[in-house]
Amino acid sequence: MQYLTMNKKLLALCLAIMAMFVCNVSAQAQLSVDEGLRKSLEHTYINWRTAMLKKNYNQWVQFTATHRQQHIKNRILSEQKAFPAWVFQVPVSPPTVSNLNALNVSAKGSTATALYFGKVDFGVGGNPPENLLLLSFVNERGRWKYDNADFIRLNELKEVRKQLNAGDYSYVRNKDFQPSGVVPRMPVSINKAQFIAKVYAFCPGREVRLKVNKVSDHRFQNTEGSEVVIGGGLVGNNEVQFATKKLEGAKGTERMRIAVFLMSTVKGVQPVKVYEYLVKDGEPVKAYGSANFTIDQAVVNKLNGK
């Protein structure tokens, strides 16, 4: 009788362990991929990518979200370039997704995202490592239009890369990889910039959001990159606001740098740094911050090589 009781207890324990195992496997299982939605979004992206590669402006307009078109026009004017000719002047080719693994494809309201993992190839040569690519879309009058892409480098998050290869997708389950349900507002139309300005961020293991002059919004996530300040720099006082957030899987002790540069139009003249927030390894990082920089005659002289 005692033997039977012990076996019942053992059986109950085994069932509990199996239940925990099944729950763990479920947690690591592939995220939701709506196949019908995936085909629709990839159709849009493939046509948008083709327009970019072939420099077809009419096709680009057809498959690009309206607010993104205005944003790109603003960016080009902020670089003192000609629109629409400069729509297709991009430093790298948009990557194909045919070789990537779709981890999550979902929609919320009039927004949708498609998250991919694999060797994201921008056509710059070499053998790219496995990283994440998040494509965003909005629905306009019943048709999906391409919005933008976020490239998440995993060079500083090698453990996350290992987890993804093992089928553990817990890192990409947070809301940052999901559609927001909120269609971005139509940007205000701007005039040609007085001074070309760029924001720069080096933020391994962190998300950095920047706003310049309450107009130009920027978001960097676990990467190193720069973006043009919409509206450019203004004569006189300018404002920079930022917010930082540690990403899941990061140590929180990584170095970080945020900066704003003014770009000279005079050949041979280097960019002029007008703002910088630098954090060394192990130093605390501000969650929020703001600062001002001034473009006066002394700065203008530097830009003119004087």
Which residues have C-beta within 8 Å of that of residue 183, sequence separation ≥ 6? 67, 109, 110, 111, 138
Give, for all 306 residues of the chain, the pLDDT tens digit.
Answer: 433 343 444 444 444 434 444 334 434 445 789 999 999 999 999 999 999 999 999 999 999 999 999 999 999 999 999 999 999 999 999 999 999 999 999 999 999 999 999 999 999 888 999 999 999 999 999 999 999 999 999 998 899 999 999 999 999 998 889 999 999 999 989 999 999 999 999 999 999 999 999 999 999 999 999 999 999 999 999 999 999 999 988 998 999 999 999 999 999 999 999 999 999 999 999 999 999 999 999 999 999 999
**CB-CB contact of 220 with 128 (8 Å):** no
- 6: Cβ contacts below 8 Å, ≥ 6 apart: none
- pTM (2 d.p.): 0.72
Half-sphere exposure of 22 (CA within 13 A, CB side): 6
Place of tokens 């993992």: 117
35-177 has which fold? Nuclear Transport Factor 2; Chain: A, (3.10.450)
d(CA 243, CA 257): 13
The token pair at 56 is: 């077809």
Q: Where are the domains of the chain?
A: 35-177, 196-303
